[in-house]
């Protein structure tokens, strides 16, 4: 069920919903009939997704959002410094254009994602290939967000950075300062 405030907000929206099955326009009559104890059917809701959303939002909102944003920013800066220490560059060269949850990293000249990604996977970490069609073969993406950043018991970021340095060295890259 949704609060009265949420329903009023939906009714006042100016843009159409992005999903037919997710549209409250289709669900409001069902919810109203449910409250009136009248049988009604539109579609079978996905309870697993609803529970997953509830769990995710509970975890996200368990601490102030400012704290969550701060740790993502700090982790992002740590990753970006480690990338620079390896002598690598980011696609987004200006700090104001860089994300706090992902870093896109240019690979060393002549190296492509298929040369490094399997090596990283063998080390238990997953980086993703590039998406931009004109330069997809020149970079990889390193996601650093969510539980990998917010759970202090996890060492995902440190393991990924270590694997990247070792993996680059294994495929023949020598960092200018010897850090790889």
Measured between alpha carbons, how far is residue 85 from residues 47, 52, 88, 164 in Å? 46, 38, 7, 12
Fold classification of 65-170 (topology level): 3.90.1150
Strand partners, 23: none
Residues 6+ apart with CB under 8 A from 161: 79, 82
Q: In a structure prediction context, what are the per-residue pLDDT tens digits for the chain, which is 180 residues long?
A: 678 898 899 889 999 888 888 888 888 898 889 889 998 888 887 889 999 999 999 999 999 999 999 999 999 999 999 999 999 999 999 999 999 999 999 999 999 999 999 999 999 999 999 999 999 999 999 999 999 999 989 999 999 999 999 999 999 999 887 666
CB 97 within 8 A of CB 80: no
pLDDT at residue 110 in the model: 94
3-state secondary structure of 102: strand
Which sequence spans correspond to the domains of the chain? 4-45, 65-170
Indicate the DSSP class of residue 73. Answer: H
pLDDT at residue 22 in the model: 80
Environment class of 58 (CB within 10 Å of its CB; exposed 0-12, middle 13-18, buried 19+): exposed
């Amino acid at each position: 069920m949704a609060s009265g405030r949420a329903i009023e907000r939906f009714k006042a929206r100016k843009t159409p919903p992005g999903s037919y099955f997710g549209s409250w326009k289709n669900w409001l009559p069902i919810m109203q009939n449910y409250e009136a104890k009248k049988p009604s059917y539109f579609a079978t809701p996905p309870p697993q997704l609803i529970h997953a959303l509830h769990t995710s939002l509970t975890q996200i909102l368990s601490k102030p959002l400012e704290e969550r944003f701060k740790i993502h920013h700090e982790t992002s800066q740590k990753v970006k410094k480690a990338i620079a220490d390896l002598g690598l560059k980011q696609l987004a060269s200006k700090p104001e254009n860089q994300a706090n949850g992902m870093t896109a990293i240019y690979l060393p000249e002549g190296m492509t994602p298929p040369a490094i990604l399997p090596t990283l996977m063998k080390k238990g970490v997953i980086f993703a290939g590039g998406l931009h069609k004109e330069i997809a073969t020149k970079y990889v993406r390193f996601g650093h967000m969510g539980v990998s950043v917010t759970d202090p018991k996890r060492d995902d970021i440190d393991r990924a950075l270590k694997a990247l340095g070792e993996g680059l060295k294994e495929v023949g890259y020598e960092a200018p300062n010897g850090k790889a």
